[in-house]
Chains A and B, each alone.
Chain A
Amino acid sequence: MEDLVSINNLNIEARTRAGTLKVVNDLSFTIKKSETLCVVGESGCGKSVTALSLMSLLPEGILNVSSGDILFDNTNLAQLSEAEIEGIRGNDISMIFQEPMTSLNPLFTVGEQVSEVIRRHKNLNKEKAWVSAVELLDAVKIPNPDKRAFDYPFQLSGGQRQRVMIAIALACQPKILIADEPTTALDVTIQAEILALINMLKQETGTAVMFITHDMAVVAQMADRVVVMHPGKKVEEGTVHEIFNNPQHEYTKSLLAAVPKLGEMASKKYPEPMRLVGEKKTKALKPIVGTNEPLLEVNNLVTRYPVKGGVLRRTVARVHAVEDVSFTIMKGKTLSLVGESGCGKSTVGRSLIRLVEPTSGDVNLDGQNILSLNQKDMREARSNIQMVFQDPFSSLNPQRPLFDQVAEPLRNYGTVKREILQEKIGDLFDRVKLPRSFMQRYPHQLSGGQRQRIAIARALALNPKLIIADEAVSALDVSVQAQVLNLMMELQVDLGLSFLFISHDMAVVERVSHDVGVMYLGRLVEIGPRQAIFRNPQHPYTQDLLKAVPIADPDKRKSERDLNFKPLPSPIHDLNYKAEPSVYRKVAKDHYVLTTDCGY
Chain B
Amino acid sequence: MFFRVMESSRLPDLVRGFAQDHEVIGPVAKDDRFVFATIDDPAELRLDYDTTLLPPKKLFFPAEDQLMRFRVADNEVLDDEVFAAPRVLFGVHPCDINALLLMDNIFLKDYVDPYYKARRDATLIVGISCVPSEECFCNAWGTDEAHWGFDIFLTDLGDRYFISVRSVKGAELLDDFVETREITDADTADFQRVTAERKEMFAEDLDTSQLPLLLDAKFDSPVWDALGERCLSCGACSMVCPTCYCFDVRDDLAPDQKTGTRSRLWDSCQFSEFSAVAHGQNFRDSRASRVKYRYYHKQWGYLSKFERVLCVGCGRCARACAANITPREVVSALAKGGFE
Asked if A and B are interacting partners, one says no
* Contacts from B to A (Cβ < 8 Å): none
